[in-house]
């Protein structure tokens, strides 16, 4: 049995917000693939839960009039992986979504829950960081938009206030147009495993495919929260598309990350992975963009 004090079912976003205000300390539950595990382990024993599972208004994927990709926070990973908007415009997000857990988990786990856990190993987090995603928070004062880089505050901590919930992930047109990406998750198993390290790289090449016009690289499990490597990105911009640039990028990123040792991998191994995965993901991203590395 689960040790839960009370479970409230919200019928709308506004009702969910009101319930969070009425019950300070209450936790949002959507798919439950993470929250219920914590309850069962005793870390959330005796908690109050506010379910948003029935809020179809924040489920699904669409294009806004300005071609911003809107991903409802309640969209499950299996839907993301097969969605035509994702497949046509940012397929790497679908590929990352397909690495989460197994089929059963992907059918219930939501992208919003994955981000709001604030854990560094979240597969969608590093990928969305590389897309410059913007998060839509809804609270008693209305909607506020937060760049995903400002969302993660530390291990298990986010910028969400207690009476707010994440309602959508937005990826502006300028963040994905002419960008091509690749995500690599290094884990001990191909399914039902947490990443030892995750690396997502997006590139935008010149028209002749010879120069990096832009590059974004993001990591999971390389620090206390998902992170970007802005100095390494800046050094790669304007450089030729060749293996020398890839080698330089790989060596540059390890100066900006701070992985820790854990029972699953040592700090030294994660640093080695960060360098190697950066080069491998970059090569795949360049190939998808029509270049050769």
End position of a domain, from candidates 140, 174, 208: 174
| Burial state string for 258-273 with b = 16 or more CB within 10 A and e = fewer than 16 | ebeeeebbeeeebbeb
Please indicate, yes or no, if residue 11 is contained in any of the structural domains: yes
pLDDT per residue rounded down to tens, the chain (293 residues): 688 999 999 999 999 999 999 999 999 999 888 888 888 888 888 889 999 999 999 999 999 999 999 999 999 999 999 999 999 999 999 999 999 988 899 999 999 999 998 888 888 999 999 999 999 999 999 999 999 999 999 888 999 999 999 999 999 999 999 999 999 999 988 777 889 999 999 999 999 999 999 999 999 999 999 999 999 999 999 999 999 999 999 999 999 999 999 998 999 999 999 999 999 999 999 999 999 99
Contact 20, 165 (CB under 8 A): yes
What is the rounded distance in angstroms from the CA atom of residue 142 to the CA atom of residue 42? 34
The parent domain of residue 190 ranges over 179-288
pTM for the model:
0.94
In a shared domain, residues 249 and 139: no
Contact 132, 218 (CB under 8 A): no
In a shared domain, residues 250 and 161: no
In a shared domain, residues 252 and 267: yes
Contact 17, 164 (CB under 8 A): yes
In a shared domain, residues 13 and 72: no
- CA torsion angle 164 170 175 181 (round to 10): 100
């Amino acid at each position: 049995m689960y040790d839960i004090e009370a479970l409230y079912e919200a019928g709308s976003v506004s009702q969910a917000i009101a319930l969070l205000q009425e019950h300070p300390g209450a936790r949002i539950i959507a798919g439950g693939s993470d929250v219920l595990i914590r309850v069962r382990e005793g870390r959330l024993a005796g908690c109050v839960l506010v379910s948003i599972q029935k809020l179809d208004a924040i489920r699904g994927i669409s294009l806004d009039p300005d071609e911003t990709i809107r991903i409802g926070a309640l969209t499950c990973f299996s839907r993301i992986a097969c969605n035509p908007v994702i497949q046509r415009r940012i397929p790497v997000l679908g590929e990352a979504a397909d690495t989460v857990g197994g089929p059963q988990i992907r059918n219930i786990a939501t992208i919003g829950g994955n981000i709001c856990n604030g854990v560094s190993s979240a597969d969608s987090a590093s990928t969305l960081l590389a897309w410059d995603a913007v998060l839509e928070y809804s609270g008693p004062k209305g909607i506020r938009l937060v760049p995903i880089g400002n969302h993660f505050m530390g291990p298990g901590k986010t910028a969400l206030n207690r009476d707010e919930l994440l309602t959508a992930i937005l990826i502006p047109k300028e963040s994905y147009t002419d960008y091509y990406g690749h995500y690599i998750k290094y884990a001990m198993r191909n399914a039902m495993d947490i990443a030892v390290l995750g690396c997502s790289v997006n590139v935008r090449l010149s028209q002749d495919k010879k120069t990096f016009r832009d590059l974004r690289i993001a990591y999971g499990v390389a620090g206390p929260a998902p992170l970007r490597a802005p100095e390494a990105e800046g050094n790669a911009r304007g450089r030729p598309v060749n293996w020398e640039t890839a080698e330089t990028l790989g060596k540059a990123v390890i100066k900006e990350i701070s992985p820790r040792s854990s029972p699953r991998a040592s700090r030294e191994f994660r640093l080695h992975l960060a360098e190697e995965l950066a080069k491998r993901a970059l090569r795949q991203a360049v190939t998808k963009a029509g270049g050769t590395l």
